Structures are given as structure tokens and as C-alpha cells.
Amino acid sequence: MDFLEQAKGLMPALHERWVFPEEQTKPGLRYMGKGDSFTLDFGTHLVGYFQIRFETDREPDSPLKIIFRFAEVPCELEIDVDQKNYRGSLSSTWFQQETVNMDNPTELLCLHRRYSFRYVQVIFPGNTHYQVRYVNSACRAVSSADEAAVLPLPREFAEKDPLLAEIDEISVRTLRDCMQAVFEDGPKRDRRLWLGDLFLQAKANYVTFKKNSLVLRCLYLFAGLPHSDGCMSSAVYCEPTLSGQAWILHDYAMLFIGTLADYYEETGDLNVLKELWPTAFHQAEIVANSLNEEGHVPENLYFIDWCESLDKSAAAQGLSIAMMKRGVWLAELLGAENELKQLKCWIARLSAGARDFYNKDLRIFRGRSGQISVASQMWMILAGVLDLQENNRVLDAMADCSDAVSTVTPYAMHFYVEALIACGRMQEAIHLVKRYWGGMARQQADCFWEVYVPDNPEASPYGDKRINSYCHAWSCTPTYFIRRFFVPFLQD
Amino acid sequence: MDFLEQAKGLMPALHERWVFPEEQTKPGLRYMGKGDSFTLDFGTHLVGYFQIRFETDREPDSPLKIIFRFAEVPCELEIDVDQKNYRGSLSSTWFQQETVNMDNPTELLCLHRRYSFRYVQVIFPGNTHYQVRYVNSACRAVSSADEAAVLPLPREFAEKDPLLAEIDEISVRTLRDCMQAVFEDGPKRDRRLWLGDLFLQAKANYVTFKKNSLVLRCLYLFAGLPHSDGCMSSAVYCEPTLSGQAWILHDYAMLFIGTLADYYEETGDLNVLKELWPTAFHQAEIVANSLNEEGHVPENLYFIDWCESLDKSAAAQGLSIAMMKRGVWLAELLGAENELKQLKCWIARLSAGARDFYNKDLRIFRGRSGQISVASQMWMILAGVLDLQENNRVLDAMADCSDAVSTVTPYAMHFYVEALIACGRMQEAIHLVKRYWGGMARQQADCFWEVYVPDNPEASPYGDKRINSYCHAWSCTPTYFIRRFFVPFLQD
């Protein structure tokens, strides 16, 4: 069975719709020349193809040079046209800027690359003997998500809590714009299928677009592109060549088990489960083989969060246990007795190792370095190393610990909310979602961002926030929390 | 009879050939990144479409940004990438520079615009985590000229005078690269059909490519796009919309008569002559109606040469007479007695007016301002206002006149050579061609230039020589002189 062939067969069709810029941002009837510019606002975040048409005040006697800059948020337009003031570590070529020379300035210009944007800045850098005037423009927005499939929130819920309703809407838009030929991490950057993002996107998808075939396609892609030792690639490049990312991340590999378990839970498709189970189990096996004598995982192979100072040891341990436990559930379903036995044995070793990170006096988990972090607590809670009561004490202890290292990304924040829900703290979970994702909403976010640190608006793992993605898959899960947990909870 | 429809029916097919850069200018196997660049040399001047392929040292994880700069001569590459050091009056958008972002850096990149170049500079301005290496590149060179139609020069001639042979070769290449869907003035700039250029290109074409249908197509285009008073457009834009140039130039309009006469002389096609005669005659009529009381033409409506200080009055007068005399020949052929009578009457008035510019003491023509210029003498000689002996005295007088205003463009120089030939001074004509066009050849010109002033290498009618065209139709006539006059003369 060729996984990649199966993935290919599940290539989704894209839904297209035409979107036009807001009237008041069009430059009107004025003629423009060298040095003039204008910025169109499409009113919301879009992923798609841009086209524009100009007319000239006389027969154009030379080519027209135009610079187009596409931005998800206005700060991206602060980058110089020559990008000299960009200080980030990621490739500057991610900035969505095109320079176009039109031999025929009045013909419809259709840019052929896909952009992720709300704003389009149009600059005329060349001197010409004629001037140009804006005629019209449009974006052919694309997504493999079918918006008609999303059920509206109960009206009463939305009216009672408009902020949660708004957060839900932004989540759905974020997910929609990341759903293309695969679940992309961010349509501006990296436009790539990451396992960590997929795990979360799939959860949000089940309560919204229900495009389960796209989840399956992505599972097949990962299954079809393992490293030579069978370890899952952390990401898949569809372009230029279909290939796996070289970076090995054991937490992402383990999330394959979780993603498969969620998929089965949603679809009940036993054939798929049987087909992908060996691949999933092998990820657990690799992690089991990586343990040191203390039964600790090598945390340098784990991502956990974009946080340089984070001691990942405890979180990595917790995540590994949590995903192995999902594996246990699958092994039981499949009646895979051998693997079940192995998994239980590995979980026992990992759990014993996890205890090393638990400080009984403080009733809190600490990393190998002694560091206390949100990430350590949330993953140990999700691992179920302690019982519910103890887990709640951990959360209380952390609340009292003012110097606990916070999460940086919405990705990590997701698991904190999950941990709160796992501990039955639904009100706290709701409060956190409203405070954290609501913080982006209050800043007029059209989509949720790759990075959001409430007290550091300049935060970027790449040294320049303008290269951050402002529509990022791993931020899309509030709709999952809202639709799966908050709506039922608040209706009770 | 719809002239434009007929022109459309004569749209030429383009001959294509693949040309590759010189081996030693390829960047070899080195990997390149931000700030690196290389310049390919295709060994000769080309007009066509460029394609290139790169490979990367690892899976490319971000787009690749590349700047391409196409240059006919190296000085064009001295223009800044942002063109800030360009000081010319013509549109900066003529510089052949493209910025391309490749989502897939290893795929074959085919730039879709046509370029006129010998050199291609390739610059990598973006920082990426991978590096790129040159694989290959090519130019699909295009021309409507069929090189197989060009007869070689007699071997003995070429061996005896290699400079003339070289000049012939450069002329033919210049003409070839200007022969596209129309006879363009310059394939870099303005890529447009100008009547002054067409008149000369057609002459060169008859002794080389013999693509007479392209001459006819261009005649139809001009005939089909007159100004509202019936005056010929000085130029035709094929793109963006087929239309005439607004600039009215009576000398260019009069050259339509000469171009038609040459076409008939070459083809003997009486039907075409009959069809286009009314249009041609009307140009003479317009000039006749423009005369002032002294029988002088309004020289401000004449181009003559790119020379600001030139007093064009005498030259304009001479050109008008010369072309009317070509009209007389056509009227006689057609038996158009009425028009013949009118033309003769107008020529008489113009010739009487021309006498006002002749200084009997100095035996030279002077403009209204008293200025002595090469342009005045050559056009009055070609007009045949004086007899052969007197014309020769004019040339002698000019030779003694050290402050005579010279010609600036090869276009004007053409008519000076014609005047020398008309006066039977073949050796002088040969000498002038070898000195003037040979001067460009000695500077390794691949094609002949729009502007060449031997003692002013910075000369440009546009304030910056780098915007000059270095493959310009109106410079291509040495092959006409060589093949029609010099070869027979030197063989005798």
C-alpha cells in the first residue's frame, strides 16, 4: 500500500470566491506616477490570487513598473522595499513583495503566485511620461475548506458571549485560510504541513469544516515520508519536491499517534486505523528506545514551544506519556496484544521517570534544571502521571509561582487550556481563552497569530515580528474548545 | 480596402534559435547566496526570451528571490538596482530588470518578457538558509528575418577589407534584431515602428533578408493610422493598442513616399503602388500646404537629427524636395498627370525657397540662422537643388568649414553618406563608413548604436547614455552601402 499514492488520490479541490477591496481604500480617480502609492484593504484575511487593472492618461510609451506588497498585518509594510531594515533570522524571501514590469500597462495583471494578506500596497517606482489610474482589483480567494459546512454557534450563546463568538469566528477563518492542498502551518510562511499543527488543525476541523479526507491525506503524507529509521518527519514539503523535513522532533512524531487516534474517534474508520497503526506504533517504539537509564526522554529532540529559555525535559516526558496512552487505546481497539504490552511497559518506565521531575514539597513539576514552567505542568497533567486531585494541586501551586516560565506560542497555550479542561476547570479554561486569544481579537486580529505574548508585542522567535505569520494554524483551536466544551458547558 | 487588415494578414512568423552563454562566464559549480551575483555573456547581441535553472544545496525551505538585469552593453549594468543613479529623461522603466520570486527554486524559470541583450546579470538579494548553484540557461532568440536569405559577401572583398566585412556583419545583425512583428527602431527601446527607421531598414533589407512582405506590412500600418488630417503618424505602436504616435513629423511623413518608391523599385508591385499612392501623395500635399510665403517648410515639424543646436530649416527644405522628387517618379509611373503637375509645381516653389538658404559667396547652404551644418548640405544635395558640380563645391566648402555642425545620429549620417555617393565620391563614402561605423566596430559593438558621436562617448539625447539603444535600426545601413555600392565599386 503506497501511502503517497493514497495521499495523492485525496488531493482536495479548492473552493474559490472573489473578494474585492474596501471602497474607501481604493485610490479613486487620481492619476499616479513615480513615487505614488496606495494601499488596498480587503477587509479581512485572505489567501489567494490577486489581479488588478490600470488605465493610463495617454497612450503608454514605455513599460510600467509596479511594486506590490502583500501584508497580513500593517507592520509588515514597515519593512523597506529593499528589506534593508529586516533583522530577522528567517529568509527575507518570505516577504510577499513582487516587482512587475508591464509592457502593456492597461492589460489585466494577474499575479501568478499565491499570497496571504489583507492589505496590498501598490507602489509606482518608475518615471514614465504617462500616468496611471486604478480601475479595479480583486482577489480570487482559495481554500479547501467548505464554509457552508460550518454550523453557526447557537444564537443564544453568541449573544450572551460575543467575545467567544468573535474568537470562534477568527479561529474558523484561521483554519480556513490554512486549509489548502494540505493543512498548512501558515499560508504566508512556511506553507508547510507540520505534524504539531496538523494535530491541532484536525481537532478544529472536526467541529467546523469536517474535511476529514484532508486529515487522512496528511496522515498518509507523513506515513509515506519517514526518516530512514522510520521516525516521522516533523513536517512535509509539498513543493518543490514532495519530501520530509530533515528536522527530527520526537514530540511531533508522537503527535502522529494522537492525530490518528482523534481521526479514528471522529470517523470510526477501522481500515485506516489498521493501515496506519504500524507507523504510529513505531513512533512510540523510537521514543522508548531513546530513553536514558533514568527513563527520561532526550528533550533536545522535542519542540514543545518557541521559548529559548524553556527547560523542556519535564514537558517532553509528559507529552511522550500522553501520546503513548493514546496508543494504548488504539492497541486495545485493534486487539494488538503484543504492542499493548510493550506500550504499557514503556509507559510505566516513562511514568517512573516522570516522577523525578515532581517536587513533592512544592507539589509542582520542575525541569531537570529545576525550572518551573507552564509547559511542564500542562504536559504532566495531560500525561496523567498524577491523579486528578494532585493535578489540581499542581495547577494551584503554579498559580502561586510568579516566576513560572510562560508559554510563548498559541500552540503551547492550547495544551495549557486542555490541561485546565482535563482538570475540570472549565471556567478557568474559558477565561484563559478569552484573555489570551481575546487579546489578539481586541487588537483586530483577522486570524490568530503564530506568536502572541501579551506583555511583549515585539515577540518573535525569528528576531523580527514582521516575519511572523499572522494566520497560523496552531492558533486555531479556540473553536475546538468552544464548540466541543464551552457551548455544552455554558448551556448546562 | 482596410490597410490595417492587410497589415494583420502580413504578420510574420518568427524564426527561433537557441543561444547559450559563453562557457567561461558561467558561475561554475560554486554555491551562491545573499549578495552573490554573476554575469552571463551570450557572446553577441540577441533579442529573445531567457530561461535559467538552478539547483540548491538542500531542500529549499523558502522562496528564492532573484534579480535579472539584461544589458546590450556593459555600461547599462552600472545603473543601480533601484535606478537611483539614473539621470535620463526617458522612462526608467525601459531598463531591462526583473525581480522574480520562485516558490520552487529548482524549477525551470522562463521569463515571459522579451529582452534585447548580450549580458545577463543575475543577483541574489535575499537571505535564505539554502544556497543555489547555476545549472544552465539559454536564450530563445527571435527575429522575423531569415538569416539563410543573406548572401555572403564576395570572399575576395571580405578578405581585402575585413573592416568593411565586419561592418557589414554588424549591420546585418542590427537589422536582424530589429526585425520582429514590425521593423522596430530598437528592440530594447522603443520597440516601435518609426517611419524614419523604416525608410532605412527597408533599404538594408532589400540587400540582405529580402523580407519584402514585412516592409509592405509596415507601409500598410502607417497608411492605416493617419492623423485626422491624413498626415502620417511618425511612429506606430503595436502594443498596448495598435495606434499612431501623436508626434507629427513632416520629414517622417515625406519618407513614406521614399519608402513606397523604394518598395516599388524593389518589387515592381504596381498594385501596391496604386493602392498606397493616394496616401503617399497626400503627404506631399500636406507639406505643400504648410509652406510660408517664402516657400519655406516649417522646420519645427521636422526631426532631421537628435541635435538640439541644429538649425533644421535648410535640411527640412531639402528633404521635402528630395521626397517630392521620388513622388514625381511614382506619379509618372502611374500616369497620374494631375498629381504630377501639382508635385512639379510644389517642387518649383520649394526649390525657389531652397535657394534662399544658399550662400553663393561661400558656396554653401546655411540655415535661417546662418548656421552651417552637415545636415543642411546633405539634404540640399539629395534634393538636387544644385547641379552635380555645384554640389561637389558645396561638399568642398563644407570640408573647409571647421565649425559646421556635425551629425549626431547614425540616422543623419546615413544621408551624408548618400549625399557623398550622389556626388560620385565613393572613396569618401567608403572612408566615412569605415571611420564612423568602424568606430563603433572598434569598440566591439555587436550591433550599431542609436547614438554615436566619436568625440563624445557620453552622448545621449536623453541625458544618460545608459538608456540609449545599442541596437538601433537607423544605424543598420552600412550593409546597404556596402552591398549596393561599395562591392561593385571596389570590384570594378
- Tell me the per-residue pLDDT of A325-341, one tens digit each, with 9 for 90 and over: 999 999 999 999 999 99
Is residue A375 a contact partner of residue A313, using CB atoms and an 8 Å limit? no
pLDDT of residue A350: 98
Is residue B165 a contact partner of residue B153, using CB atoms and an 8 Å limit? yes
Is residue A474 a contact partner of residue A447, using CB atoms and an 8 Å limit? no
User: Over B370-391, what HEC string results?
Assistant: CCCEHHHHHHHHHHCCCCHHHH
Cell digits for B332?
509618372
Contacts of B68 (CB under 8 A, 6+ apart): B50, B97, B98, B99, B100, B111, B120, B121, B122, B123
Contact B240 A99 (CB under 8 A): no
Residue A54 has pLDDT above 70, yes or no: yes
Q: What is the DSSP letter of A130?
A: S
What residues does B236 pair with on adjacent strands?
B193, B244
Q: Which of A59, A93, A107 sits opposite B63 (nearest CB)?
A: A93
What Rg do the C-alpha atoms of chain A give, in angstroms?
A: 24
Task: Indicate left, alpha or beta for A191 from its phi (over 0: left) and psi (-120 to 50: alpha).
Answer: left
Q: Rounded to an integer, what distance in angstroms lies between the CA atom of residue B83 and that of residue B80?
A: 5
What residues does A47 pair with on adjacent strands?
A116
Q: Whose CA is closest to A251, among A282, A291, A284?
A: A284
Contact B64 A93 (CB under 8 A): yes
Q: How many interface pairs between A and B have CB atoms less than 8 angstroms apart?
A: 99
Contact B127 A82 (CB under 8 A): no
Cell digits for A164?
467567544
Tell the burial category of A12 from Cβ atoms under 10 Å away from its Cβ (0-12, 13-18, 19+): middle
Contact A104 B239 (CB under 8 A): yes
A25 touches chain B (CB under 8 A): no
Residue B418 has pLDDT above 70, yes or no: yes
H or E element that contains B141: strand B132-143
Strands B97-102 and B243-244: unpaired
pLDDT of residue A241: 84
Helices (H), A212-269: 212-224, 250-267
Q: Provide the sign of the torsion angle of the four alpha carbons B449, B454, B460, B466, taken in this order.
A: positive
**Cα–Cα–Cα angle for B62, B64, B67, nearest 5°?**
155
Nearest CA in chain B to A130: B91
- CB count, 10 Å around CB of A335? 8
The band of B1, judged by pLDDT with boundaries at 50, 70 and 90, is low
CATH for B15-143, among 3.20.20.100, 3.40.50.720, 2.60.120.260, 2.40.50.140? 2.60.120.260
Backbone angles phi, psi at A110, to 5 degrees: -115, 110
Q: Provide the sign of the torsion angle of the four alpha carbons A390, A395, A396, A401, taken in this order.
A: positive
What angle, 0 to 180 degrees and rounded to 10, lies between the N-to-C axes of helices A374-383 and A337-355?
140
Give chain A positions within 8 Å (CB) of B126: 83, 91-93
Give chain A positions within 8 Å (CB) of B94: 62-63
Contacts of A10 (CB under 8 A, 6+ apart): A213, A214, A216, A217, A220
Backbone angles phi, psi at B148, to 5 degrees: -65, -20
Give chain A positions within 8 Å (CB) of B59: 237, 240-241, 243, 245-246
A69 touches chain B (CB under 8 A): no
SS3 content of chain B, % helix, strand, coil (to 5): 45, 15, 40
Q: What is the DSSP letter of B26?
A: S
Name residue B166's amino acid.
E
pLDDT of residue B492: 72
**Cα–Cα–Cα angle for A371, A374, A379, nearest 5°?**
100
Residue B246 has pLDDT above 90, yes or no: no
The band of B240, judged by pLDDT with boundaries at 50, 70 and 90, is confident
Q: Rounded to an integer, what distance in angstroms lies between the CA atom of residue A222 and that of residue A272?
A: 14
Strands B64-71 and B115-123: antiparallel
pLDDT for B44-98, tens place per residue?
999 999 999 999 999 899 999 999 999 999 999 999 999 999 999 999 999 999 9
Q: What is the DSSP letter of A486?
A: I
pLDDT for B469-485, tens place per residue?
999 999 999 999 999 99
B9 touches chain A (CB under 8 A): no
Give chain A positions within 8 Å (CB) of B62: 90-91, 93-94, 189-190
Residue corresponding to grid cell 504500524: A278
H or E element that contains A9: helix A3-9
Q: Which of A103, A189, A240 sits opposite B60 (nearest CB)?
A: A240
Q: Provide the sign of the torsion angle of the four alpha carbons A70, A75, A76, A80, taken in this order.
A: positive
Q: Rounded to an integer, what distance in angstroms lies between the CA atom of residue B282 and that of residue B272?
A: 16
End-to-end CA distance of chain A: 47
Percent of chain A with pLDDT strictly greater than 70: 100
Q: Whose CA is closest to B474, among B174, B247, B73?
A: B174
Residue A376 has pLDDT above 80, yes or no: yes
Cell digits for A269?
474508520
Query: What's the whole-number average pLDDT of chain A?
Result: 97
Q: Which of B61, B92, B103 sits opposite A126 (nearest CB)?
A: B92
What residues does B50 pair with on adjacent strands?
B139
**Residue B436: strand, helix, or coil:** helix
ipTM of the complex: 0.92
pLDDT of residue A181: 98
Backbone angles phi, psi at A220, to 5 degrees: -65, -40
pLDDT of residue B241: 84
pLDDT of residue B299: 97
pLDDT of residue B43: 98
Residue A393 has pLDDT above 70, yes or no: yes
Residues recorded for chain A: 492
Please identify among residues 121-150 of chain A the ones whose CB lies closer than 8 Å to any CB of chain B.
Answer: 125-129
Q: Extract the runs of DSSP E, i.e. beta strands, from A146-213.
A: 193-194
Backbone angles phi, psi at A403, to 5 degrees: -100, 20
Query: What's the whole-number average pLDDT of chain B?
Result: 97
Q: Which of B61, B101, B125 sits opposite A98 (nearest CB)?
A: B101
A85 touches chain B (CB under 8 A): no
Q: Whose CA is closest to A194, among A417, A475, A466?
A: A475
Q: Do domains B15-143 and B149-491 have the same CATH topology?
A: no
Give chain A positions within 8 Å (CB) of B63: 91, 93-94
Residue A1 has pLDDT above 60, yes or no: no
Q: What is the mean pLDDT of residues A454-475?
A: 96
H or E element that contains B274: helix B270-289
Q: Where are the domains of chain B?
A: 15-143, 149-491
A60 touches chain B (CB under 8 A): yes
Q: Which of B59, B99, B237 sits opposite A99 (nearest CB)?
A: B99
Q: What is the mean pLDDT of residues A164-186?
A: 98
Is residue A436 a contact partner of residue A428, using CB atoms and an 8 Å limit? no
**Cα–Cα–Cα angle for B167, B171, B174, nearest 5°?**
140
Is residue A454 a contact partner of residue A430, using CB atoms and an 8 Å limit? no
CA dist B272 → A480, B217, B325 (Å): 78, 11, 19
Please identify among residues 171-190 of chain A the ones whose CB lies closer than 8 Å to any CB of chain B.
Answer: 189-190
Tell the burial category of A130 from Cβ atoms under 10 Å away from its Cβ (0-12, 13-18, 19+): middle
Q: Rounded to an integer, what distance in angstroms lies between the CA atom of residue B254 and that of residue B91?
A: 29
Contact A99 B104 (CB under 8 A): no
Q: Rounded to an integer, what distance in angstroms lies between the CA atom of residue B128 and that of residue B134?
A: 16
CATH for A149-491, among 1.10.1660.10, 3.40.190.10, 2.60.120.260, 1.50.10.10? 1.50.10.10
Is residue B381 a contact partner of residue B424, using CB atoms and an 8 Å limit? no
Q: Which residue of B34, B59, B61, B104 is the best one to mutate when testing the A interface, meaning the one whose CB has the most A CBs within 10 A?
A: B61
